[in-house]
């Protein structure tokens, strides 16, 4: 989990650095700050979008698992479904 947080933090940091490296030197300080805040907002929104997509996928798989019939469906099917949406073990 810590590695995922580090990667997300780095995405936001890269977005900020990209703005700082490309901001017009002629822009006033307030405009520069505004551009950094906007870059942070976009980076965070992208992260939340990815999390929402992952959560939606996980819910769909949980719904599918919940519809498996005890005694009729193999537990291995549930394991396969769960493993398909879980992040790879590192």
Across all residues in the chain, what is the average pLDDT? Answer: 84
Structure tokens belonging to residue 36: 């950094």
CA distances from 40 to 29, 33, 79, 85 (A): 17, 11, 38, 28
User: Where are the domains positioned within the chain?
Assistant: 2-85
Could you report the per-residue pLDDT of 46-86, keeping only the tens digit for each? 888 988 998 999 999 999 998 988 888 788 888 888 888 88
Residue 1 banded pLDDT, cuts 50, 70, 90: low
Residue 90 banded pLDDT, cuts 50, 70, 90: low
Residue 3 pLDDT > 80: no
CA distances from 7 to 3, 37, 54 (A): 6, 19, 16
pTM (whole model) above 0.75: no
């Amino acid at each position: 989990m810590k590695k995922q947080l580090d990667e997300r933090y780095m995405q936001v940091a890269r977005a900020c650095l990209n703005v700082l490296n490309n901001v017009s030197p002629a822009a006033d300080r307030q405009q520069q700050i505004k551009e950094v805040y906007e870059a942070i907002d976009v980076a965070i929104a992208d992260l939340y979008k990815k999390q929402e997509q992952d959560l939606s996928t996980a819910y769909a798989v949980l719904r599918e698992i919940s519809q498996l019939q005890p005694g009729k469906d193999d537990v291995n099917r549930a394991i396969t479904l769960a493993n398909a949406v879980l992040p790879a073990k590192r």
